Amino acid sequence: MSVERISSVKEAALRALGATTNGESPSLLTALNKADTHSLRGALVGLLKYGNEPAAEQKLDSLLSSPSSEDRILAIQILGEVNRREYYPYLIAACDSPDTHHAAGLALISTGTDIMHEIDTAYSQSDAPLQRLLTLTKALGHIGSTDSQKILLSRMFTPDEELREQILNALSQTGYSTKDIPMIQHVVKAEIEQAAWYCAAQVDLGKADGTTLLIAALEAHLKQIRNRTLLLLSFAFNGSSIKRAREAFLAGSAMQVSYAVEIMDTQLPVEWKGWVMPLLEELPRQERSMRLAAFFPQEKQTPEEHLSAIIKANRFSAWVRACATYAQLSPTAHEGDPAMLSTVEKVLILKTVSIFSQTPDDVLAEVANLLEEMEIQENETIFKKDEPGDCMYIIVDGKVRVHTDERLINYLGDSDVFGEMALLDPDPRLASVTAVETTQLFRLDQSPFYQLMAERPEVATGIIRVLTKRLRGLVNDISQPDIP
C-alpha cells in the first residue's frame, strides 16, 4: 500500500486486506478518506463484505444519497459485491433512474438468486415504471433459474412491445421451453396479426408523400415481430434449430437467411405455415400483406387514417409516432409539434454522418435526444489543441478549419464530424478547430453516449464498423508503393 503506484492494484490490495483481517485493518479506515475511486471502492468492499464497520456504512450511505450520479453508481457497484440484504430496496429503486439503472442491473446479476423475492415483488407491481421492468427483465435473464422464468412469464402478455421482446429474450437466455403448444400458438397469432396490420399500413402509406421514414420505421417493427415470433417458436419446437435460424435473420448473409427459411419450413407444423412463413420469407410488401390478410383480414384505410391511428396509439414507439406526425404535417405546419419534428430532423441529419451510417433509425432517435445544438460565430475557436476531450461535434451547417497553431490540416463542412475519438478515448485534442463562418453544430457528450452504447449495442457496433473501415483504408494507403 505504501509503494504501489497503480491504483487498481491498490484496490486489489485493500480487498485482500479486508478478506484476511475480517475487515478490521486500520489501513481500510484510512483509505475511506482517499479521494480516488479505486482506493475508496477497495476499502468499502473490504470493510462491508468481510466486517461490520459503522464508518463504512456511513460512507456508503453518503454515496447513495449523493447528488452526483458517479457517486451513486460507485455505491451500487459496491452493493453488487457485498450483498447486504438491508440495501436490496435501494438496488430495486435504482432500476428506475436513467442514471443508475444499468449499474443496478449489473449489481442485481451479481447478487443472484438471493434477491429474487425483492425482484418478484417489484416486478409484479401494477404501476411499475417501464425502465424498472426492462432492467429487472435483463437481470432475470442473466440470473436464470426456474424462479426467474416464473417471474418473466407473469408479464409475457404485456402490450408494450419493447418489454415483451426483452422478456422473450430473457426467457430464451434461461433455456425456457414448454409443452403448452396452444399457449404458444395463441401468442404467435397475436404477434402475426399485428404484423398483418403493419404490412397493410405500409402498402397504403406507400401511396402518400413524406412517409418514407415511417414506412422504414414500420419495417423495423416487422423485424422485431419476426424476432419475437422465432423466440416463441423456439420455446415449443426444436429450440436449437430455430435459434440458429433466428441468428441468421438477425445478422446473417442472404444465403444464410435463405437457409434459415428452409429450416423453419421443415420445423413448423403444416397448419402453422400459412400464417408464419409470409413473415419469414423475402416477399414484396404487397404480396406479404395479401398472404397475411388471408388469415388476418385488414380494413382498407387511407394514409391519413393510418397516420392518425399511429399518432394516437401508445403501443407505438416515440420514434414511429414522430415519423407519423412529420408525415401528417405540411411543410408550412411544422410548428405544430416542434419537439417531435426536431427529433425527426436530427435523425435525418445523423443518417448522413458516416459513423452513424450503420445505426437503425429508432436508435438514432435516442442519439438525437442527447445532442446539444450550438451556433458558433466566424473565427470562434471550438476547442484548442491539447485540451482534454470529452465530446464530439457534427456540422449541421457551416464550415470549420482543423489546424495546429497556424498550420492548416483540413476544412470540414456539412455532415462532417470532428472530435469523435474523444467519445472512445478522452486523451487531449490533437488539433484545434475554428469556425470559418457562422456554423451550426450538434455536440454529443461522452458520458450519456457511453450509457446509450451500454443499452444499445447497435450504436457501438456501427461506430466500430465505420472506424474499422477507416483504419483499413489508411493501412491500404500506407501499403501502396510510392508512385514516382
Specify the pLDDT at position 99. Answer: 86
Do 152 and 224 reside in the same domain of the chain? no
Q: Is residue 208 classed exposed, middle or buried when 0-12, 13-18 and 19+ CB atoms within 10 A define those classes?
A: middle
Do 199 and 268 reside in the same domain of the chain? yes
**Contact between 48 and 56 (Cβ < 8 Å):** yes
Q: Is residue 481 classed exposed, middle or buried when 0-12, 13-18 and 19+ CB atoms within 10 A define those classes?
A: exposed
Specify the pLDDT at position 405. Answer: 78
Nearest to 454 by CA among 16, 76, 58, 106: 106
Please give the DSSP secondary-structure letter assigned to residue 435: E
Asked which of 328, 351, 383 is the last residue of a domain, the reply is: 328
Does some domain include residue 408? yes
User: What is the percentage of the chain residues whose pLDDT exceeds 90?
Assistant: 52
Do 147 and 201 reside in the same domain of the chain? no
pLDDT digits (tens, 9 = 90+) for 297-314: 998 888 888 999 898 888
CA quadruple 350, 356, 357, 363: dihedral sign: negative
Does some domain include residue 198? yes
Asked which of 328, 343, 377 is the last residue of a domain, the reply is: 328
Q: Is residue 196 classed exposed, middle or buried when 0-12, 13-18 and 19+ CB atoms within 10 A define those classes?
A: buried
Asked whether residue 438 carries a pLDDT value surpassing 80, the answer given is yes
pLDDT digits (tens, 9 = 90+) for 229-257: 999 999 999 888 999 999 999 877 889 99
Do 153 and 185 reside in the same domain of the chain? no
- Residue 430, domain CATH: 2.60.120.10
Does some domain include residue 195? yes
How many other CB atoms are found less than 10 A from the CB of residue 141? Answer: 22
Does some domain include residue 65? yes
Do 284 and 364 reside in the same domain of the chain? no
CA quadruple 313, 316, 320, 322: dihedral sign: positive
C-alpha cell at 453: 452504447
Do 29 and 152 reside in the same domain of the chain? yes
DSSP string, 6-44: -HHHHHHHHHHHHHHHTT--HHHHHHTT-SSHHHHHHHH
Asked whether residue 36 carries a pLDDT value surpassing 80, the answer given is yes
Specify the pLDDT at position 173. Answer: 94
**Contact between 274 and 261 (Cβ < 8 Å):** no
Q: Residue holding cell 508512385?
A: 483
Specify the pLDDT at position 333. Answer: 44
Asked which of 271, 306, 328 is the last residue of a domain, the reply is: 328
Contacts by residues 62-67 (CB-CB < 8 Å, ≥ 24 positions apart): 64/90
Instruction: State CA 60 to chain mean position distance.
Output: 29
d(CA 347, CA 95): 28
Do 188 and 274 reside in the same domain of the chain? yes
Specify the pLDDT at position 470. Answer: 67
Do 195 and 315 reside in the same domain of the chain? yes
d(CA 474, CA 137): 43
- Among 174-178, 378-382, 477-481, which is the least confidently predicted range? 477-481
Specify the pLDDT at position 281. Answer: 92
- Residue 18, domain CATH: 1.25.10.10
Q: Residue holding cell 413524406?
A: 210
d(CA 192, CA 276): 7
C-alpha cell at 56: 463504512
d(CA 428, CA 421): 10
Do 12 and 117 reside in the same domain of the chain? yes
pTM of the model: 0.80
Does some domain include residue 259? yes
Q: What angle do CA 201, 203, 204 make, to 5 degrees?
A: 65
Do 185 and 267 reside in the same domain of the chain? yes
The total number of structural domains that make up the chain? 3
Specify the pLDDT at position 185. Answer: 94
Do 206 and 138 reside in the same domain of the chain? no
Does some domain include residue 236? yes
d(CA 449, CA 369): 11
Q: Which domain, by its residues, includes 83?
A: 7-158
Specify the pLDDT at position 330. Answer: 53
Asked whether residue 182 carries a pLDDT value surpassing 70, the answer given is yes
pLDDT digits (tens, 9 = 90+) for 343-364: 888 888 888 887 787 788 888 8
Does some domain include residue 349? no
Q: How many residues does the chain have?
A: 484
Does some domain include residue 11? yes
Q: How does residue 430 score in pLDDT terms, banded at 50, 70 and 90? A: confident
Sheet with strand 439-445: strands edge to edge: 372-376, 439-445, 391-397, 417-418
Specify the pLDDT at position 316. Answer: 84
Asked whether residue 340 carries a pLDDT value surpassing 50, the answer given is no
DSSP string, 66-96: -S-HHHHHHHHHHHHHH--GGGHHHHHHHTT
User: What is the percentage of the chain residues whose pLDDT exceeds 70?
Assistant: 95
Do 59 and 121 reside in the same domain of the chain? yes
Nearest to 201 by CA among 301, 326, 312: 301
How many other CB atoms are found less than 10 A from the CB of residue 473? Answer: 10
Specify the pLDDT at position 338. Answer: 45
**Contact between 283 and 195 (Cβ < 8 Å):** no
Nearest to 165 by CA among 246, 99, 91, 110: 246
* Better-scored residue on pLDDT, 193 or 421: 193
**Contact between 41 and 51 (Cβ < 8 Å):** no
